[in-house]
Structure 1
Amino acid sequence: MAAFFVLDEDLSTHTGLETRIAALIAPTLVDLGYEIVRVAVLGRDVPTVQIMADRADGSQITVDDCEQISHAVGAVLDVEDPIPGNWTLEVSSAGIDRPLTRVKDWVRFAGHLAKAEVNIPVNGRRRFSGVVLGGDEAGGRLRLDDGSEVVLPFAELRKAKLILTDALIDAAQREAGVEPEGEAETSEDVSSSAAPTGRGRQKKPGARRH
């Protein structure tokens, strides 16, 4: 199972192949105007390297963006060779019900519902769901159903993800410049299209080069 980790400015506190790959590809993606949301390596015989990315300007990521990232990341991994043997590269956008992997994600999506799981119990439990209250160096903060608040240390987060709700979809549509249903004008000259809910993906076969 892939490790869950936070990708912020300092990667030195993280270990493992995913963090090494993130450190290798981050400068290239930053130069192209992208940010890493998550890196995961799945499988053994022919592992799949999954890269989840955002546009640095906050605009909607497209299939063309994923293709550009795929070519750039593939070139870096071919040269640096962090993975022995053959591998496959998969690039995707974060999607609407995206994972919360960085402090900025917890801050950006404050007020929306999320679920999370930790490696070591916090207040006697491992799984949580509630309203995102923000985040800082101490961890991500949630308000639970009973009204209590909890801080989930990033070092112990196994996974955290937004819960798909109408409010979240409306927020995503507004970010994409699309008026949510019910708010659009009714004039025949005005058309409205739903914000993308899927994830653009590009797969690139890779092979170790000698």
Structure 2
Amino acid sequence: MKEQQIISAEVRNLGYSLVDIEREGRGLLRVTIENPDYERMITVEDCEKVSHQLTYTFAVENVPYERLEVSSPGLDRPIKTGDDFVRFAGLEIELKLRIAVGNRKNFKGVLQGLTSGSINTPDAKFSLLFEASDGSPAELEFSLSEVEKARLVPVIDFKGRKS
């Protein structure tokens, strides 16, 4: 937990928001960042700036790692917090639950946002509109504790600009 607090503080001090921290095999530490205003994309220079600062901080704080990777969340951004589930309401997501609901753990649909409770509290409930196996529209209500993984479904426009 100390590691997460160190990374979060350094990322915030540099003017970015922390999206995710992942530990992978062979000592890889992956840190995902974004701009707080969300409109400005993360650049290679942003990642380089955060990487240099974290490398220095890890040496001082004795945080173990072999390789550090700093990146933007990408088009299929992970959704982790209650704030994320509210922010991305109206967008299509892929949701995987920890425990199956009606013999199903994986859902793909339009996130409806907060339906009851307070954001980032155990009683918060969120909603997802999806297509049931019979093709009819259905709604799933869930809490953060029930979510194993959630990601945005990438929206890519290949039409290009008109001249």
TM tier, smaller: 0.7 to 0.9
Tell me the distance in 2 between the aligned counterparts of 1:40 and 1:26: 13
Please state if 1:126 is matched with 2:108: no
- Relative contact order (alpha carbons < 8 A, sep ≥ 6): 1 or 2 greater? 1
Tell me the distance in 2 between the aligned counterparts of 1:120 and 1:76: 39
Which residue in 2 is equivalent to 1:100?
79
In structure 2, which of residues 126, 140, 143 is the aligned counterpart of residue 150 of structure 1? 140
Tell me the distance in 2 between the aligned counterparts of 1:87 and 1:31: 24
Compute the displacement of 1:149 (Å). 1.8
Please state if 1:64 is matched with 2:45: yes
The within-5 A match list for 1:186-205 is 186=163
Aligned residue-pair number: 151
Which residue in 1 is equivalent to 2:33?
53
TM-score (norm 2): 0.80
Which residue in 2 is equivalent to 1:79?
60
- Identical aligned residues as a percent: 32
| Letter in structure 1 aligned against 2:150 | A
What RMSD, in angstroms, separates the aligned Cα atoms of the two structures? 2.2
Over 3 Å counting, the alpha-carbon distance change for 1:153 and 1:89 in structure 2 is: same
Compute the displacement of 1:76 (Å). 2.0
Secondary structure of 2:100 counterpart: strand
Over 3 Å counting, the alpha-carbon distance change for 1:152 and 1:76 in structure 2 is: farther
Q: Are 1:39 and 1:49, in contact at CA under 8 Å, matched by a contact in 2? A: yes
Unmatched segments (≥5 aa) in structure 1: 1-18, 171-179, 187-210
Over 3 Å counting, the alpha-carbon distance change for 1:100 and 1:89 in structure 2 is: same
Compute the displacement of 1:27 (Å). 1.4
Moved over 6 A (4+): none
Which residue in 1 is equivalent to 2:96?
117
TM-score (norm 1): 0.64
Compute the displacement of 1:49 (Å). 0.4
Compute the displacement of 1:181 (Å). 4.6
Unmatched segments (≥5 aa) in structure 2: none
Please state if 1:22 is matched with 2:4: yes
Tell me the distance in 2 between the aligned counterparts of 1:81 and 1:150: 44
Deviation by residue 1:36-87 (Cα, 9 ceiling, x = unmatched): 11110011xx31001011011221110000001111122222222233xx51
The within-5 A match list for 1:176-195 is 181=159, 184=161, 186=163
Over 3 Å counting, the alpha-carbon distance change for 1:124 and 1:139 in structure 2 is: farther
